[in-house]
């Protein structure tokens, strides 16, 4: 994913991009969501707009392409 494409998404902690990226990093299943504010400190939202879904997908796919995963050892 190009830097220009990346920059079009809100990268705030708890946002759709952040959650997609984190789900991939921790090898959690694909389950689009975001948080109203900070992750874990606000309401989890699973009913996403088209733009939020695109951001989640992009974050998830970007990390998958990088292959950057949590090492549990």
pLDDT score, position 8: 85
C-alpha 20/C-alpha 13 separation (Å) is 11
pLDDT score, position 72: 86
How do the domains of the chain map onto residue ranges?
3-66
pLDDT score, position 73: 85
- Model-level pTM? 0.87
Residues with pLDDT less than 50, the chain: 4
* Long-range pairs for 6-15: beta carbons < 8 A, 24 or more residues apart: 6/58, 6/62, 9/54, 9/55, 9/58, 9/59, 10/55, 13/38, 13/39, 14/38, 14/39, 14/41, 14/42, 15/55
pLDDT score, position 4: 47
pLDDT score, position 7: 63
């Amino acid at each position: 994913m190009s830097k220009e494409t990346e920059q079009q998404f809100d990268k705030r902690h708890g946002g759709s991009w952040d959650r997609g990226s984190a789900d991939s990093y921790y090898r959690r299943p694909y389950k689009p969501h975001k948080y109203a504010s900070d992750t874990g400190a606000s309401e989890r939202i699973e009913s996403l707009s088209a733009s939020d879904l695109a951001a989640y997908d992009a974050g998830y796919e970007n990390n998958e392409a990088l292959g950057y995963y949590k090492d549990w050892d």
